[in-house]
Amino acid sequence: MTFTRRNFLKSTAVAGVAGSVGFPHIWIKDSGAAWAANGEIKVGVLFSLTGTTAVVEKSMHNATMMAIDEINAAGGINGMKLTAIVEDPASDPATFADKSNKLVLNDKCVSVFGSYTSASRKAVLPVFEKRKNLYWYPTLYEGRECSKNVMYTGAVPNQQQKEFIPWLVKTFGKKFYLIGSNYIYPKEENNVCKILLKELGGEVVGEEYVPLGHSEFGSVLNKFRETKPDVIFSTVVGDSVIALHKQYKAAGFSPDKMPMASLTTSEVEIAAMGGEYAAGHFTSAPYFMGHQSKENEVFVENYRKRFGKESVTHFVSEAAYFQMHLFRKAVEKIGKGDITPIAVRDATAGLEIMAPQGKVKVDGDNLHCYLWPKIGQAQADGQFKVIQQSSDWVKPEPYWAYPGQSCTKDGLKGA
């Protein structure tokens, strides 16, 4: 082989990759369990502060940091302070994985709290499973996952829909138009919706997915006009939610006759579109800022004191907040020398805590949470009025739409 520039670059690149992959193994073996050294417990905080999903993730970051400060102000956990290692994954799944590696291997965080999108969670999963660490995921998501290295504190489809769909059918009618953004979450939610509708004798008059970031709903609105559904079931996410609501109103539709029923429209989206466009539409979620409870009052007041009186709390920031307190409660149960990510997970399973939405519990088998689904109607002031709350907490069933499959202590059964 002659020594050309190209060959030289190739061989150094290969050596570089091999080096960066092989290197951690050299020292991870004798690194020992230094999870809580020098009177501090390190936790990773991994929410995008820049990039496309920064809008929502910033609020999750805020709620997480607020919970950490609350814990430290109250004396820490068994006398140890929580130290937050903050990384910005910039809304990019590959960067999520990189930063996770850094937080777990270099910083030795005993847990990492992060992610809004499913894509970013899927990207970090291998890291946490391989390194036997623990990831805390506060977002509602599509279910169908059973990792033993993730704590899921957001809602899964059965929790958001089981009471919502029957209520919609009873109140408005049986003809549904399903509109969602084009990725896995809306498709899985719509699967659940279609199963529920079939049981109730309902009818799907249209099912459609628009590209992420889509902002031109003229043709979709014409299809609403043509098919005349009773309910528009929306799992559109992000900026598109705003465009859809604005154009819906401008087209002369009224939520009294054909409301949008959403799983994804929260106080954040409403603040960005203006209350008059959202007023009258419905959302099902475990938490609304307008929920009446003592815990929520304190949560909202502290949040606004810290991040401005215009700021809003919503269903993912609430979960980001209470999951940190779940972590605290779990670590309190563990002896100082025994703190490991797996010990934290085992201590969290079955744990209960008073959250702003109500008392929540971690399911010992599937590591998802028992939550309190509510149906909220958006008001012109940007808040939701809670119309109905489930009478009991609802068990998380991440494989609800897949009979015969279930997530157990030992992993997925019946797949």
Partner 1 sequence: MDIFFGQLFTGLSIASILLLVALGLAIIYGAMGVINLAHGEFVMLGAYGTWFLQSQFGLPLIPCLLLVFFMVAAAGWVVESTVVRFLYHRPLDTILATWGIGIMLQQAVRLSAGAELRYVQTPEFLSGSIDIAGVGIPSYRLFILALTAALLALTWFVIQRTEFGMKLRAVTQNREMASCYGINSARIYSLTFAFGSGLAGLAGALVAPIKSVAPDMGTNFVVDAFMVVVVGGVGSLIGTVVSSGLLGSGTAGIAFLLNDTLAKALVFLAVVVLVRFRPQGLFVDQRRR
Q: State the residues that interact with partner 1 by CB under 8 A.
A: 49-52, 54-55, 58, 182, 208-211, 213-216, 218-223, 225-226, 239, 242-243, 246-247, 249-253, 268-269, 271-274
3-state secondary structure of 415: coil
User: CA-CA distance, 291 to 371, in Å (whole number)?
Assistant: 14
The nearest distance, CB 369 to partner 1, in angstroms, is 27
CB of 141 to partner 1, least distance (A): 21
- Per DSSP, the three-state class of 288 is coil
Report d(CA 213, CA 240) in Å as an integer.
6
DSSP structural state of residue 104: I
Q: Which is nearer to partner 1, 24 or 274 (CB)?
A: 274
Q: How far is the CB of 272 from partner 1 (least distance, A)?
A: 3
Nearer to partner 1, 93 or 274 (CB): 274
Q: Rounded to an integer, what distance in angstroms lies between the CA atom of residue 88 and that of residue 82?
A: 19
Among 92, 151, 143, CA closest to 119: 92
Is 101 or 247 the residue whose CB approaches partner 1 more closely? Answer: 247
Least Å from the CB of residue 222 to partner 1? 5
Question: Least distance (Å) from partner 1 to the CB of residue 213?
Answer: 6
Nearer to partner 1, 58 or 122 (CB): 58
126/115 Cα distance (integer angstroms): 14
Q: Comparing C-alpha atoms, which of 34, 36, 37, 39 is closest to residue 80?
A: 39
Number of H helices, E strands in the chain: 14, 17
Distances (CA, A) of 410 to 51, 343, 366: 37, 16, 9
Q: Would you say 80 or 210 has its CB closer to partner 1? A: 210
136-162 exposure pattern, b = at least 16 Cβ within 10 A, e = fewer: bbbbbbbbbbbbbbbbbbbbbbbbbbb
* CB-nearer residue toward partner 1: 219 or 292: 219
82 DSSP 8-state letter: E
Which tokens is 298 given?
Answer: 């304190």
- Residue closer to partner 1 by CB (options 105, 221) is 221
* Minimum CB–partner distance for residue 212 and partner 1 (Å): 10
- Min dist CB 47 to partner 1, Å, is 11
Q: 406 CB contacts (<8 Å, ≥6 apart)?
A: 366, 397, 399, 412, 413, 414
d(CA 23, CA 26): 6
Alpha helix positions (H), 157-238: 157-161, 164-171, 184-200, 218-227
Q: Which is nearer to partner 1, 308 or 335 (CB)?
A: 308
Structure tokens at 376: 């909220």
In angstroms, the CA 23 to CA 220 distance is: 53
CB of 60 to partner 1, least distance (A): 12
User: Quick check: 324 and 267 in contact, CB under 8 A?
Assistant: no
CB of 215 to partner 1, least distance (A): 4
* 95 vs 158 by CB, closer to partner 1: 95
